[in-house]
Amino acid sequence: MTEVISVKFKDSGKNYYFSPDGKKYNAGDNVIVETANGLAFGSVAEANHEVEDDRVVPPLKKALRVANDKDMQRLEDNKTKEADAFKICEEKIASHKLDMKLVSVEYSFDGGKITFFFTADGRVDFRELVKDLANHFHARIELRQIGVRDEARMLGGVGICGQEYCCKRFLDDFLPVSIKMAKEQGLSLNPTKISGSCGRLMCCLNYEQNSYEYLNSITPSVGSTVKTEQGVGVVIDVNFITGNLTVKPKDGEGAPYKTNRKYVKILGNNKPKKQDSDKE
């Protein structure tokens, strides 16, 4: 077992393990840690605890200290510099006539490296832009192209559910989602109904997918032939959550009637054959 603390560098994103190096840290403490790219400012997500050795990626970097007032001031200064750098970079992108959209700017804690995040439809030759930025800021420059989902996570916002974006609030990773999920959950396939603000399928399609897969496996689909207490009929409407079915007599005599999946026997299912679906 290895003693670690879990540190988060952004409000959303992954937690990373660091060695407490014999010190005691509490959840919520702001800390200065050692990383491969130098010193970094983070927040303790989980206090001192032990994990299995195979969960630690060597070499395990150290947490150096709890952040002091000077560190907090440097963090605020970096935020001010990031805002200024954003404006300057936008101007230089325009002057170089590059087809790219600047999303965010991030200063390393020591100020020696500046990372510019951008989106673009394709590959962008930004070599001259990097040289221009390096000459202006006298720091190491990195331009990193990101996707529209990463852009939504960085900028944040409110989804159609009225909640802050899941990717901004708590998601560590983007899980694959597909149109197949929307079909199985009985949702409208209108892109405006099932797409997030990023333009991709909503991440929340994944949350209840396992439950819907189970319900689909025990519920006859529309068009299936079933035997009920009232005879043989064809399913014309399904509520997967409640299990309620609307069945039309197969002989065409009599009105459709309501029943429940637990009272029927499936004689012939109309479930489509599984097909590979494009995932996002």
Enumerate domains of the chain plus CATH numbers: 2-67 (no CATH), 72-146 (3.30.300), 153-206 (no CATH), 220-268 (2.30.30)
Compute the distance between CA of residue 12 and CA of residue 235 in angstroms, rounded to an integer: 45
pLDDT at 276: 44
Q: Under 8 Å CB-to-CB from 278, ≥6 apart: which residues?
A: 178, 179
Q: Under 8 Å CB-to-CB from 191, ≥6 apart: which residues?
A: none
Q: Profile the chain (280 residues) by mean pLDDT over runs of 10 residues.
A: 91 84 93 90 94 89 94 94 96 96 94 94 93 95 94 89 89 88 89 90 93 91 91 92 93 89 86 51
pLDDT at 273: 52
Percent of residues in the chain assigned helix, strand, coil, to nearest 5: 30, 30, 40
pLDDT at 116: 97
Q: pTM for the full model?
A: 0.75
Pairing of strands 140-145, 113-119: parallel
